[in-house]
Amino acid sequence: MKKIVFSLMALIFSATAFGQEIVSISKSALENKSLDKNLQVQLAEKEIQLAQAELLGSRAAYLPNITASYTYMNTNSPLMAFGTKLNQARISMMDFNPDQLNNPKAINNFNTKIEVLQPIINRDAVYMKKAGQVKADVLKIKSERTKEYLHFELKKAYMMLQLAYKMQETLQNAKATTLANKKVIDNYFKNGIIQKSDVLYMDVRISEIDSQLQVAKSNIQNASDYLYFLMNENAEGKILKPTENLEYQEIFSASDTKINENRKDIAAYQKSLDAYDYLIKAENSKFLPRLNAFGTFEMNDKKFASFDANGYMAGVQLSWNVFDGLKSKSEKEKYKAEIEKTKAQIEAYTQQSQLELNKAYTQIQDADAKVHFTQQAWEQSKEAYRIRKNRYDQGLEKSADLLTAETLMSQKELEMQQAIFEYNTAVEHFKFLKN
């Protein structure tokens, strides 16, 4: 009970001394935490928005292109001058005079023009739009996988925070035990039972624990800052504290260690193949007929801002790209090579992912064994310390032996907590790789 009270007081003192607000957080609250503010998630969302913005350009295959212009022109070119007067609807018999035709006076023209181009059938643009849509879909899948990875990082960071607090608690308990032993040793020294060196050894041990406590406090701060970083929240003047202690999870067993081919990162790779198929179809469609409508409406006048004469032109154009210098053929060959390259990358990535999954499962087994071995060593070291403590109280053991037993007990407890953290992390890593 004294150890627990001392630990709580030390925690309160350390937080108060640095003026930091302790913010409690549970594992469930962290798992339900939105990651929309995370910088990696925001970056992934921006990439999706960029792809969708590029996709908007494909609307040109369906929507009309409308332009308007207002042009001033002055000319004494015989052909241009006669045609301009004709557009202005002011040709007279005098204009057919050969001298007037050959040597016209300079003429002004203010032209207002509206042009409309309406695509009707352009199959290559349709397939290009589908390829752009696939790109946007692939980025969405990658964004979802990024969120899954960040949720794993959140769990790992939370366990790091648990470990840091647990190590601090263990060290504080070790310090309390050492201080209690030091009081006994100080009394023995005053009575001349032991030598000064025994007291100094105990002081060295306390200094060693204080140094480790400083490292543990820094680890708490670093783990808390990392959690705030993942959530993209302000960590100034605040420090997180988990509501649950670091505990050994239930025994984990996996009946199937085969990689999930529908895993989002692998699915994104597979989805990207569809884009190349559409790009190849787009190149093939460039040799199909294209049907486009066009129209022009013009107003001409010799005065500014006057719109007396007008006329229009409208039509439909059917065109073929008969030969493009084998450009489309080379593009198709490039896309086919990209498909084969992507398939090879998918196979290599899947095999690598399977190796990582197998390794993760092996790490679980190793970490599980390590937990049991370190727990057994800790129990044995506790029993050894208890025996030496009893013998020391009876004057049958040296203070150096007692100090060695206490140091070993503290070390083994720290090793056990580290092993539990490694096991829990390995389990979460396997789940992330499996799903």
* Residue 16 DSSP label: H
Q: In 224-283, which ranges are E strands?
A: 238-242
One-letter amino acid for residue 101 of the chain: L
Question: What pLDDT score was predicted for residue 202?
Answer: 86
CA distance 67 to 61: 16
**pLDDT-above-70 percentage for the chain:** 95
Cβ-based burial of 218 (10 A; exposed 0-12, middle 13-18, buried ≥19): exposed
Give the confidence band of 275 by pLDDT, cuts at 50, 70, 90. very high
pLDDT at 18 over 80: no
How far apart, in whole angstroms, are the C-alpha atoms of residue 197 and residue 330?
Answer: 86
Q: Read off the pLDDT band of 15 (50, 70, 90).
A: very low
Q: Give the closest residue to 201 by CA, choosing from 215, 191, 188, 214.
A: 188
Give pLDDT tens digits for 84-131: 999 988 888 988 988 888 999 999 999 999 999 999 988 888 899 999
Confidence tier at 13 by pLDDT (50, 70, 90): very low
Q: How confident is the model at residue 19 (pLDDT cuts 50, 70, 90)?
A: low
Average pLDDT, the chain: 89
- pLDDT at position 317, please? 92
Q: What is the mean pLDDT of residues 229-248?
A: 91
Label residue 195 by pLDDT band (50, 70, 90). confident
What strand order describes the sheet that includes 290-301?
65-75, 107-121, 290-301, 309-319
Tell which wins on pLDDT, 194 or 371: 371
The residue ranking higher by pLDDT, 250 or 145, is 145
For residue 4, the model assigns a pLDDT of 44
DSSP string, 168-180: HHHHHHHHHHHHH
Residue pair 328/283 in contact by the 8 Å Cβ criterion: yes
Six token digits for residue 164: 């840091």
What digits encode the pLDDT tens for the residues 131-183? 999 999 999 999 999 999 999 999 999 999 999 999 999 999 999 999 988 88
Query: What are the chain's domains?
Result: 2-63+135-287+327-434 (1.20.1600.10), 64-121+290-321 (2.20.200)
Average pLDDT of the residues in 211-239: 93
The pLDDT of residue 12 is 47
Q: What is the pLDDT of residue 346?
A: 93
Burial 131-159 (b: 16+ CB within 10 A, else e): bbbbbbbbbbbbbebbbbebbbbbbbbbb
- How much of the chain, in percent, has pLDDT values that exceed 90? 60
What the block records as the tokens of 415 is: 């090793």
pLDDT in tens, 306-352: 788 889 999 999 998 888 788 888 988 999 999 999 999 999 999 99
**Residue 297: band (very low, low, confident or very high) from pLDDT cuts 50, 70, 90:** very high
pLDDT higher than 90, residue 187? no
Residue 193 pLDDT: 78
Q: Which helix (H) or strand (E) holds 69?
A: strand 65-75
